[in-house]
Amino acid sequence: MSRFKLGLIGAGKIVRDQHLPALRQTPALQLAATADPYASLDGVPGFHDMDAMLDAHPDIEAVSICTPSALRFETARAALLRGRHVLLEKPPGATLSEVEALTELARHQRVSLFAAWHSRFAPGVARAKAWLANRRIDRVHIEWKEDVRVWHPGQAWIWQPGGMGVFDPGINALSIATAILPAPFFLRHARLWVPENVQAPIAAKLDFVDTQGGAIAADFDFRQTGAQTWDIHVESDGHSLSLTQGGCRLAIDGEMVLGEKEQEYRGLYRHFAELIETERSEVDIAPLRHVADAFLYGYREMTEAFIE
């Protein structure tokens, strides 16, 4: 496989925690520079914006866009117009229309576009998908609860329109569910709890049904303290499957069959390199569509103000 030079757009918490360690373990990609007006990485050339980065490093072939979702469209569009391959952190855009426009532009430019649902690369997801492939689903319970103060400290953008609130982590659960469940599913009821001083929900309960009548319930909450919960439990034909710890642990009929450490972003970047090498794009908007449906169809209930 060829080695491609890559630029990171954004140098914030998610980049430092996840992207940078994964890139160090991905021989097919070489981090050449970053673009962020407020932050930089030690030992890596840093620039105020992407255009300055690409002007200084014309050999950069791909960019990974890790800005808040409301800023991604213009950045991704500019990168595609300059002939660069693009990885979009999740969610791939603030709206479905934006992502569809980028997909068409990438096709026209003949470069790769990757909507990078990192949770799909958790160790247990592929095996869960294979086990469920030919089964009828009876019930699914998704519980995705974490502490926003731990994962998004001081990040006011997450509470603004486009920031998605609790759907920022919740979309990770939906990205796994849309990958592993064998039949499409559709929203039937949604309840969103929105703090009185922000624009995005802090908790949500969603009820879906699939095309075979299977019931899928999701419970998202940004107010969890102590142990964090990222679990999906599936009942099918008298059997059970549980993906826990965000997909790192897999149990079938109560027996643990897989328990590994998180390695999502390493798999994600390896896949991006493969897409570039084979001149392909991969843009699945199903998880974002489910979030859009929740905002469109959900009942909103005001709750107490969020104070960090």
Residues involved in catalysis: 90
Burial bucket for residue 170 (CB in 10 Å: 0-12, 13-18, 19+): buried
Q: Nearest Cα to 119, choosing from 168, 166, 172?
A: 172
User: Residues 48, 55: contact at Cβ < 8 Å?
Assistant: no
Q: Nearest Cα to 248, choosing from 145, 141, 118, 140?
A: 118
How far is it, in rounded angstroms, from Cα 44 to Cα 59? 15
User: Residues 129, 118: contact at Cβ < 8 Å?
Assistant: no
Structure tokens at 305: 């103000």
How far is it, in rounded angstroms, from Cα 29 to Cα 24? 8
